[in-house]
């Protein structure tokens, strides 16, 4: 018999190419099975797609918020209100000094006269202001630190505060910090949602493959009887899971893209209202690849669990 | 090729299907395994096909102990056995050709080689013109012949058949049995379990007979089993 085995070997090209061939066959075979049962497949794949579209959509939402808040970050500014006894000449000298400091990107000087004019024009209290005997507004210097983190901005604020002639250095970041905290909460929520929904996808695919194994019980028994290895029998099911994951990922991508198309109009308007230069961000190629590959991996993992649990129990009797 | 030394198979229910069976079947020999239903014929074949494990005794296939063989080696041992079932165990979701080609696919043959060997096997059982048919459209005898083609397509050295003619009329049964005899002529070791005694006598082949788990007759034994009680 051993001699016989050796005699048969050359027919199989060699171990590696036979293995590759069967992988290819399993891949196509499992795709064929999916194609043969379109209703079941569409349902399963849609459930996976809808499940994954939630974390996908949240991720994209977060990405947009991030981009917009990054926009805000670059507009962080410190308002320096000078003491009333500082002359315009002194104030302009101070502005020049500040503009030369590191961490400072630009400065703008608003004289107390300009400030009053502006106030008279914009506030609608023009007449009441005219009754004032003297101008109550100080000279103001607006300092833009450029793109720096909160810590650097605070540091700069403290240094400016300590300068002679400065009454108040006001860094308006509290609302920004609040926003960042909210974004951080959202980010963690998205992580939790992603983990939970990935687990759901794992269960969906695992269950689908389990049913698939049950439906093909007879085939598995026959294959085992004629000498199929466990790996050989496992392969088509694993590829089945891979296909489910891949197609589910594609559907979730489609859902998210369509969803964003639906809300793009109002979002664009909101952007205009906030005078933001940002345009709506959708999935980048990188995001797309991550989405598809992780859903495909989830498919593989789900089917692996099902196969490990159920396939070895099937033995011919 | 097959050696049984005092093999006993007791199921968990306590039922003893085989009791102290000793036999030997050399390479190239053919034997019919007869006996009433429940005599242990199927159990004996299942032990050889590694579907059941003996409870006691030694069952060897090409000197491999079938009781202690590791699970991962089982597929490779089965590849040298062709098994034919009474209910032929065909897969009804694919055509005849794919059914017969399955053992070759499992063993990783090249597609051209698979096509060649599959057609040769179908030709041998006279079903070359049915390769594209679905098994469900075939008659009982044709289905059984597809089962035989699948069992021999990878040229196993041992052929096991469990009641292969159980559902067939006498003429078809004779045809099927003749196919086994033909395989034996070209050197394949064959063991056929059947209770179709008239047909077996007609073929004039060695017999082994089981009765309630005991081997009571063995035409291939040099020394007849002690327990035989005057049948022959």
A25–B110 C-beta distance less than 8 A: no
Q: Say how many C-beta atoms besides its own lie within 10 A of residue A83's C-beta.
A: 14
A315–B107 C-beta distance less than 8 A: no
Pairing state between β B2-10 and A106-110? unpaired
B chain contacts of residue A5, beta-carbon cutoff 8 Å = 79-80
* Residues B54, B46: Cα–Cα separation, whole Å: 10
What is the structure's pLDDT at B76?
93
CA-nearest residue of chain B to A1? B157
Q: Which of B89, B155, B157 sits opposite A222 (nearest CB)?
A: B89
A225–B78 C-beta distance less than 8 A: yes
pLDDT tens digits in sequence order for chain A, 317 residues long: 444 444 444 444 566 777 787 788 788 877 887 777 788 889 999 999 999 999 999 888 888 877 777 666 556 778 888 888 888 888 888 888 888 888 888 888 888 888 888 877 777 777 777 777 788 888 888 888 876 777 787 888 888 888 888 888 888 766 777 777 888 898 899 999 999 999 999 999 999 999 989 988 888 999 999 999 888 899 989 999 999 999 999 999 999 999 888 888 887 777 777 666 666 778 889 999 999 999 999 999 999 999 998 888 888 87
| A3 in contact with B, Cβ within 8 Å | no
Contact A143, A57 (CB under 8 A): no
Q: What does the pLDDT look like over B48-107, one tens digit per residue?
A: 999 999 999 999 999 999 999 998 899 999 999 999 988 888 998 889 999 999 999 888
A chain contacts of residue B154, beta-carbon cutoff 8 Å = 8, 226
B chain contacts of residue A19, beta-carbon cutoff 8 Å = 108
| B24 in contact with A, Cβ within 8 Å | no
SS3 content of chain A, % helix, strand, coil (to 5): 75, 5, 20
Pairing state between β B207-211 and B30-34? parallel
| B65 in contact with A, Cβ within 8 Å | no
| A28 in contact with B, Cβ within 8 Å | no
Q: Say how many C-beta atoms besides its own lie within 10 A of residue B137's C-beta.
A: 11
A chain contacts of residue B150, beta-carbon cutoff 8 Å = 226
Q: What does the pLDDT look like over B135-145, one tens digit per residue?
A: 999 988 899 99
What is the structure's pLDDT at A11?
46
For A:196-235, CB contacts with B below 8 A are 218-219, 221-230, 232
Q: Which of B62, B75, B83 sits opposite A229 (nearest CB)?
A: B75
| B75 in contact with A, Cβ within 8 Å | yes
| A16 in contact with B, Cβ within 8 Å | no
| B150 in contact with A, Cβ within 8 Å | yes
What is the structure's pLDDT at A202?
94
Among candidate residues A230, B111, A262, A214, the one with its CA nearest the CA of residue B119:
B111
CA-nearest residue of chain A to B153? A226
What is the structure's pLDDT at B117?
95
* Residues A253, A35: Cα–Cα separation, whole Å: 21
What is the structure's pLDDT at A159?
86
List, as one string, the DSSP characters of A123-184.
Answer: HS-HHHHHT-SS--PPPEEEEE--S--HHHHHHHHHHHHTSTTEEEEEE--HHHHHHHHHHH
A316–B91 C-beta distance less than 8 A: no
Among candidate residues A57, A54, A69, the one with its CA nearest the CA of residue A276:
A69
Lowest model confidence (mean pLDDT) among A256-265, A270-279, B11-20, B147-156: A270-279
Q: What is the CATH number of domain A77-172?
A: 3.30.70.3040
| B64 in contact with A, Cβ within 8 Å | no
Contacts 24+ apart (CB under 8 A), A260-268: A260/A57, A260/A60, A267/A64
What is the structure's pLDDT at A13?
53
pTM: 0.73
What is the structure's pLDDT at B191?
95
Contact B108, B166 (CB under 8 A): no
Percent of all residues in chain B with a pLDDT value above 70, rounded to a whole number: 95
Mean pLDDT of B26-42: 90
Contact A134, A116 (CB under 8 A): no
B83–A25 C-beta distance less than 8 A: no
B chain contacts of residue A15, beta-carbon cutoff 8 Å = 108
Mean pLDDT of B185-213: 90
What is the structure's pLDDT at B223?
54
B chain contacts of residue A229, beta-carbon cutoff 8 Å = 72, 75, 106
| B28 in contact with A, Cβ within 8 Å | no
List, as one string, the DSSP characters of B123-171.
Answer: HHTT-GGGTTS-GGGS-HHHHHHHHHHHHHTT--SEEEEESTTTTS-HH
Question: Any idea where the domains of chain A sit in the sequence?
Answer: 16-72+178-310, 77-172
Q: Which of A221, A223, A316 sits opposite B102 (nearest CB)?
A: A223
- What are the Cα distances from residue B32, in Å, to A86, B113, B159, B190, B220? 120, 33, 12, 8, 11
* Residues A30, B30: Cα–Cα separation, whole Å: 41
Helix spans in B38-139 (H): 41-48, 74-78, 96-106, 111-124
Task: Check whether B231 has a pLDDT greater than 50.
Answer: no
Interface test mutation site (partner B, options A15, A26, A227, A233, max chain B beta carbons within 10 A): A227
| B94 in contact with A, Cβ within 8 Å | no
Among candidate residues A298, A204, A283, A210, the one with its CA nearest the CA of residue A249:
A298
Q: Which two tokens stand for residue A67?
A: 């981009």
A chain contacts of residue B109, beta-carbon cutoff 8 Å = 11-12, 18
């Amino acid at each position: 018999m051993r001699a016989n085995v050796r005699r048969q070997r050359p027919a199989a090209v060699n171990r590696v190419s036979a293995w590759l061939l069967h992988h290819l066959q399993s891949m196509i075979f499992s795709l064929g099975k999916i194609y043969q049962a379109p209703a079941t497949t569409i349902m399963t794949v849609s459930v996976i797609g809808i499940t994954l579209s939630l974390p996908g959509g949240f991720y994209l939402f977060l990405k947009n918020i991030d981009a917009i808040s990054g926009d805000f970050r670059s507009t962080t500014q410190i308002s320096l209100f000078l003491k009333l006894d500082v002359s315009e000449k002194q104030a302009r000298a101070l502005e020049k000094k500040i503009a030369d400091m590191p961490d400072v990107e630009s400065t703008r000087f608003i004289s107390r006269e300009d400030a009053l004019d502006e106030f008279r024009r914009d506030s609608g209290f023009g007449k009441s202001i005219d009754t004032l005997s003297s101008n109550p507004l100080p000279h103001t210097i607006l300092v833009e630190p450029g793109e720096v983190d909160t810590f650097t901005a605070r540091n700069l604020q403290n240094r400016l505060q300590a300068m002679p002639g400065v009454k108040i250095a006001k860094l308006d970041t509290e609302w920004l910090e609040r926003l960042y905290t909210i974004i951080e909460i959202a980010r963690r929520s998205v992580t939790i949602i992603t983990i939970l929904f990935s687990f759901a996808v794992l269960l969906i695919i695992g269950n689908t493959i389990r049913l698939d194994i049950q439906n093909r019980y007879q085939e598995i028994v026959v294959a085992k009887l004629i000498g199929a290895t466990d790996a050989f029998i496992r392969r088509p099911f694993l590829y089945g899971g891979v296909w489910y994951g891949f197609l589910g990922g594609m559907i979730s991508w489609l859902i998210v893209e369509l969803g964003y198309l639906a809300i793009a109009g109002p979002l664009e308007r909101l952007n205009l209202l906030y005078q933001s230069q940002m345009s709506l961000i959708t999935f980048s190629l990188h995001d797309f690849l991550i989405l598809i590959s992780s859903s495909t991996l989830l498919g593989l993992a789900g089917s692996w669990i099902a196969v490990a649990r159920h396939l070895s129990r099937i033995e011919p009797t | 090729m097959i050696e049984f030394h005092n093999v006993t198979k007791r199921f968990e229910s306590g039922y003893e299907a085989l009791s102290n069976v000793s036999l030997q079947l050399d390479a190239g020999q053919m034997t019919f395994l007869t006996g009433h239903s429940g005599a242990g014929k199927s159990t004996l074949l299942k032990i050889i096909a590694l579907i059941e494990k003996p409870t006691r005794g030694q069952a060897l296939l090409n000197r491999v102990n079938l009781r202690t063989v590791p699970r991962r080696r089982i597929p490779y041992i089965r590849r040298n056995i062709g098994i034919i079932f009474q209910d032929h165990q065909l897969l009804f979701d694919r055509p005849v050709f794919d059914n017969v080609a399955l053992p070759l696919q499992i063993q990783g043959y090249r597609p051209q080689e698979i096509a060649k060997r599959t057609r040769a096997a179908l030709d041998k059982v006279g079903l070359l013109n049915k390769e594209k048919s679905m098994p469900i459209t075939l008659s009982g005898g044709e289905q059984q012949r597809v089962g035989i083609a699948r069992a021999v397509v990878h040229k196993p050295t041992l052929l096991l058949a469990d009641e292969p003619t159980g559902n067939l009329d006498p003429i078809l049964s004779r045809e099927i049995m003749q196919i086994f005899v033909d395989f034996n002529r070209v050197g394949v070791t064959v063991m056929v379990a059947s209770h179709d005694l008239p047909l077996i006598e007609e073929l004039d082949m060695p017999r082994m007979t089981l009765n309630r788990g005991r081997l009571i007759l063995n035409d291939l034994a040099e020394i007849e089993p002690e327990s035989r009680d005057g049948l022959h």
